[in-house]
Amino acid sequence: MDVLLDVAGPVAVITLNRPAKLNAITPEMADALRACLDRVDADPAIRVAVLTGAGERSFCVGSDIRELDAYATPWEFRNRGDYGDAVRALRKPIVAAVNGYAYGGGLELAMACDIRLAATTATFAAPEIKLGWIGGSGQSALLAHSVGPGNAATMLLTGDPIDAARAKDWGLVTEVVPPDELLPAVRELAGKIAARPPIAAQTAKANLRAAYAMPLDQAIQYERDLQTVCMATADAAEGRAAFAARREPVFEGR
Which of 128, 181, 188, 248 is an active site residue? Answer: 128
Nearest Cα residue to 114 out of 9, 194, 204, 23: 204
Q: At residue 78, what is the residue type? A: R
Contact present, 87 and 205 (Cβ < 8 Å): no
Nearest Cα residue to 127 out of 139, 138, 113: 139
CA distance 197 to 48: 11
Contact present, 115 and 96 (Cβ < 8 Å): yes
Q: State the angle between helix axes of 139-147 and 149-158 in degrees (0 to 180), rounded to the nearest 10.
A: 140
The β-bridge relationship of strands 123-125 and 162-163 is antiparallel
CA distance 5 to 14: 5
Bridge partners of 103? 125
Q: Is 248 annotated as catalytic?
A: no
Alpha-carbon separation of residue 91 from 58, 94, 145, 212, 243 (angstroms): 26, 9, 20, 17, 28
Which of 108, 223, 238, 252 is an active site residue? Answer: 108
Q: Is 108 annotated as catalytic?
A: yes
Contact present, 160 and 130 (Cβ < 8 Å): no
Active site residues: 108, 128
